[in-house]
Amino acid sequence: MPGTTVLAGGVGAARLLRGLVDVVPPDRITAVLNTGDDLVLHGLEISPDLDTVLYTLAGAVNPETGWGLAGETWRAMEALERFGGQTWFRLGDADLATHLYRTQRRQEGAPLSQVTAELAAAWGVGVRLLPATDDRLATRLTLARDGKEVAFQHYFVALRHEVAVASVRFDGAAEARPGPGVLAAISDAEAVVIAPSNPIVSIGPILAVPGIRAALEARRADVVAVSPIVAGAALKGPADRLMAELGHERHPRRRPGRRRARPRGRGRGRPLRRGPRGHDRCRGRGRPGRDRAGRTPTCVRRGQCRS
């Protein structure tokens, strides 16, 4: 059924989807999800972005972190640490059940797309969750300091994304095929949204799967992208630094001949003037919203705005 298709990574995409289901029926939303972050650890198949979106839409995600399960316990990790096992990528006790089930079904021959549908049904998630591919796809990053290539989760979690990156590649992308229903979800949708996920390591792996970029470009005129970078800074994660390190522009480009719309305040309709630190300082009776860190804008604190 035609509806809205969202190309999605992890936390940013999950939050967009959580808001989208408040205005669009869940059964009319399809999420095409990044699998380049997937890894095998402790013999378990782990799909971090898939699970973050799944838990968020199920209303079960940890609200403080944006990933993992609320009320999680860590007894398995504590026991593993006692033995000297790998605990750099922490898996909660309840979260382990997801990975155990996925691994079991994959070993039984079920493709990732089928297992994902089963997990979504078990959680009562009405949004259709489609892995970008059922085939192997791995995001690999070359570090600037020593030229060493590492997997995405090693860069993001073990190294806390604090090191500069020289290049990124998507291993297995050339041989991968779009997952079942992915191309149709893009071409037949009434609207396509690119979620505010990291453009390089969350959206990039999806577009690297042959056929997906072409399907998106075929309807480029009505595709909407929500930027994860505001005023040159990432809302969450290393997207801004990663783009700069790889030589990409961090500010959206305007089309030639088009002027940027100026926001207007309420009441007298006077425009807002940008203040220090990106705050909106009102010249009329407008009430600007909070900034992206949740702080009250300067003009509100100084009593310059009225409702």
Domain boundary among 213, 245, 277: 245
Do both 77 and 208 map to the same domain? yes
Q: Quote the pLDDT of residue 266.
A: 41
> What is the DSSP annotation of 32-69?
EE--TT-EEETTEEE-HHHHHHHHHHTT-B-TTTSSSB
Question: Both 179 and 80 in a single domain?
Answer: yes
Residue 117, CA distances (Å) to 181, 184, 230 in order: 12, 17, 34
Predicted local confidence at residue 251, as pLDDT: 63
Residue 109, in any domain of the structure: yes
CA dist 51 and 37 (Å) reads 11
Number of compact structural domains in the chain: 2
Q: 268 and 209: one domain?
A: no
Domain-embedded: residue 253: no
Same structural domain, 274 and 238: no
Claim to verify: residue 236 and residue 268 sit in the same structural domain? no
**What sign for the dihedral angle of Cα 17, 20, 21, 24?**
negative
Q: Which residues contact 284 (CB under 8 A, 6 or more apart)?
A: 265, 266, 267, 268, 269, 270
Of 217, 245, 273, which residue is a domain's last?
Answer: 245
User: Tens of pLDDT along 102-160?
Assistant: 999 999 999 999 999 999 999 999 999 999 999 999 999 999 999 999 999 999 999 99
Nearest C-alpha neighbor of 36 from the set 250, 201, 223, 216: 201
Q: Do both 134 and 267 map to the same domain?
A: no
Query: Which two structure tokens, joined as six digits, stand for 106?
Result: 């994959």
97 & 192 share domain = yes
Q: Which of 193, 211, 245 is the last residue of a domain?
A: 245
Can you give the pLDDT at residue 248? 84
Name every residue whose Cβ is closer than 8 Å to that of residue 184 and which is 6 or more positions away in sequence.
Answer: none
Same domain, 51 and 192: yes
Measured between its terminal Cα atoms, the distance across the chain in Å is 43
Residue 250 lies in a domain: no
Same-domain pairing of 182 and 278: no
In a domain, 254, yes or no: no
Phi-psi region at 295: left, alpha or beta (left = phi > 0; alpha = psi -120 to 50)? beta
Is there a domain that residue 84 lies in?
Answer: yes
Give the separation between CA 244 and CA 116, rounded to whole angstroms: 34
- The model carries a pTM of 0.80
Q: The domain containing residue 303 runs over which residues?
A: 261-307
Quick one: 201 and 65 in the same domain?
A: yes
In a domain, 198, yes or no: yes
Please tell me the total number of residues recorded for the chain in this structure.
Answer: 307
- The 3-state DSSP class for residue 224 equals strand
| pLDDT at residue number 235 | 79
Euclidean distance between CA atoms 63 and 275, whole angstroms: 31
Residues of the chain with pLDDT under 50: 258, 261-307
Same-domain status, 40 and 156: yes
| CATH code, 69 | 3.40.50.10680
Please give the pLDDT value at position 78: 97
At residue 275, the pLDDT reads 41
Pair (294, 188) in one structural domain: no
In a domain, 255, yes or no: no
Q: Residue 251 domain-assigned?
A: no
